[in-house]
Structure 1
Amino acid sequence: MKLANKYWKYAFVLPMVVLYLIFFMYPLVQGIIVSFTSWDGLSSVKHFIGLKNYMNLFSDNDFVKSISFTLELTIVLIVIEIVVGLVIAVLLERKIKFNSFFRTAYFFPAVLSGMTVSLIFSQIFQYGIPEVGNGLNIAALKLNPLSNHTGAFIAIAFVMLWQGVALPILLFLAGLMSVPKDIIEAASVDGATSKQIFFKIKLPFLLPTLSIVFILALKAGLLAFDQIVALTYGSVDTQSIGLLLYNDAVSSFRFGYANSMGTLLFIVIIILSLIQIKVSSRYEVRQ
């Protein structure tokens, strides 16, 4: 009986493991294998071509442009999500009037569909902003911001940040609330200022949370797709790696080539995430 009880825990875990293997690991391995072929996604035969797809990537002008755009977008998302998320979380930690309402309001965008939000903002950018510009006679607002590269980049980043900063706020707020109160009180008694308490005590405790936010923002930037499809569909030099991958696979039937992009992107995300975790682990507080 004791032996049977010992293995019950594996029975509860087994369904999740099976689903993970079927819907994540199997497609992942298949995608890596396909990246070494010239498969068109339709034929039953996959011709092995080795590293040719990977070698062709860096001579592909569209791929180079998509890398540049995606990296710029990713850097903006990482920096602003961390800074804005942390600032708002610090403000929400304080006991102010309607605190619960503000916490709910800031998290609300996270529960919305990325495509839905992007389609709404697309209408605002195309029709709302030009109408406001014409009504107020402001030249800078009369044009649709999605009609040029700079405006489109700002618009895409704004939409992704409006929705993407919600979860970092929640994570940072949870991290701030988990900081031991006795340490903060002891520091206050010793004459530490609010600034010193934040940078010397709270921030080191937040480093694990910061690592999570960094990885989430990194993933969101490198895999950006929904917002770009809804707002520009890659026009005015706003084609991300995700959109280029989709076009190559679905529109051009170059599944092998598209999978080589996906595999390379997967490796980059893993490497950057491991580096960031390794660096932050040196400075985080051990409880």
Structure 2
Amino acid sequence: MERRGFSWSYFRLQLVFLGPAVLFFSLIVIAPFMLSIYYGLTNWNGVNSEIDWVGLANFKQIVMEDTAFRRAFWFTARYTLVSVVLMNAVGIGLALMLTQKLKTTNLLRTIFFMPNVIGGLFLGFIWHFIFVKGFASAGDALHIGVLQLPWLGTAQTSFWGLVIVSVWQYSGYLMVIYIAALLNVPPEIKEAAKMDGASGPRMLLSIIFPLIMPAFTICFFLAMSWCFKVFDLNLSLTKGGPFRSTESVALNIFNEAFGNNRYGLGTAKALIFFVVVALVSILQVRFTKKREVEA
């Protein structure tokens, strides 16, 4: 049996191809993450050179005293739950419609995908004008009560305003993933199900949806990551108002670190947020992975 020893040529090959990726990943991801752990244990204001070590005091203050952070977390959780469900429902609905034999299929796919390419800040300003000016004018002209609501003036309507814009922006992206999954369902399986008497709803629930479960896993993960990290849309559309009722966790962290000049406390909040989002994402992926089947 031949024993393979250390090979400099193989090591150099790995260094050439993997070295740049590892280097940039370390500089861009690992190093800032380790620094954030350090800053989260200090009371640095982000400006002065003096950094005072406070240990776990920031985390204790967040858990025990910071009601604004808990309120922002509760809002983000509700917003994420509602938005993720609606995004995926609209995305799979559009995908089912656009996998049929329609003359305008390619045009409709492009139209539904286009909102995703618009930046969040710009999109927020556009919808701010629509909610404040467009809906009000249309409601007065058509005498439709829903359009006359103060969409960005109350906590409840502002919440649903953010949900509407998020679903409108991201559903088209999820639609593309679902379309790819639907087109990869083996036609012989669908034919066999039809011969066994499976109707349309039965076909979807018992045959098609289990086969495209990997797409559900990806789409739910993406939607959750988008919604948990919502910042630019929240900033441009409501700025967390009225009275901080729609302030997301990301916006709360930003205001704490750069608005109140408490960088250490803001970094501690970001670390807590990272842990919670990571745990929720892991549980979601494991839950949907268990329901995947092979064709």
Superposition TM-score, scaled by structure 1 size = 0.92
Distance 1:11 1:32, change over 3 A: same
**Partners of 2:169 and 2:215 in 1: how far apart?**
19
Which residue of structure 2 aligns with residue 41 of structure 1?
46
Gaps in structure 2 of 5+ consecutive residues: 1-6
**Partners of 1:12 and 1:162 in 2: how far apart?**
40
**Partners of 1:190 and 1:7 in 2: how far apart?**
59
Corresponding residue SS for 2:98: helix
The alpha-carbon deviation at position 140 of structure 1 amounts to 4.6
- Which letter maps to 1:104? T
**Contact 1:129–1:144 under 8 Å retained in 2:** no
- Which letter maps to 1:190? D
In the alignment, which of 232, 254, 261 is matched to residue 262 of structure 2? 254
Which residue of structure 1 aligns with residue 88 of structure 2?
82
Deviations 1:179-205 (A, max 9, x none): 222222222233322323222222112
Gaps in structure 1 of 5+ consecutive residues: none
- Which letter maps to 1:114? G
In the alignment, which of 248, 273, 277 is matched to residue 265 of structure 1? 273
The alpha-carbon deviation at position 286 of structure 1 amounts to 3.4
**Partners of 2:143 and 2:199 in 1: how far apart?**
48
**Contact 2:40–2:267 under 8 Å retained in 1:** yes
Distance 1:110 1:9, change over 3 A: farther
**Contact 1:127–1:144 under 8 Å retained in 2:** no
User: Identity of aligned pairs, percent?
Assistant: 28
Superposition TM-score, scaled by structure 2 size = 0.90
Which residue of structure 2 aligns with residue 32 of structure 1?
37
Which residue of structure 2 aligns with residue 98 of structure 1?
104
The alpha-carbon deviation at position 263 of structure 1 amounts to 0.8
Which residue of structure 1 aligns with residue 163 of structure 2?
157
**Partners of 2:13 and 2:189 in 1: how far apart?**
41
**Partners of 2:15 and 2:176 in 1: how far apart?**
32
**Partners of 1:136 and 1:178 in 2: how far apart?**
45
**Partners of 2:85 and 2:19 in 1: how far apart?**
39
The alpha-carbon deviation at position 272 of structure 1 amounts to 0.9
**Partners of 1:283 and 1:138 in 2: how far apart?**
44
Corresponding residue SS for 1:126: helix
**Partners of 1:47 and 1:231 in 2: how far apart?**
37
**Partners of 1:139 and 1:199 in 2: how far apart?**
37
| Residue 55 in structure 1 maps to residue 63 in structure 2 | no
Corresponding residue SS for 1:11: helix
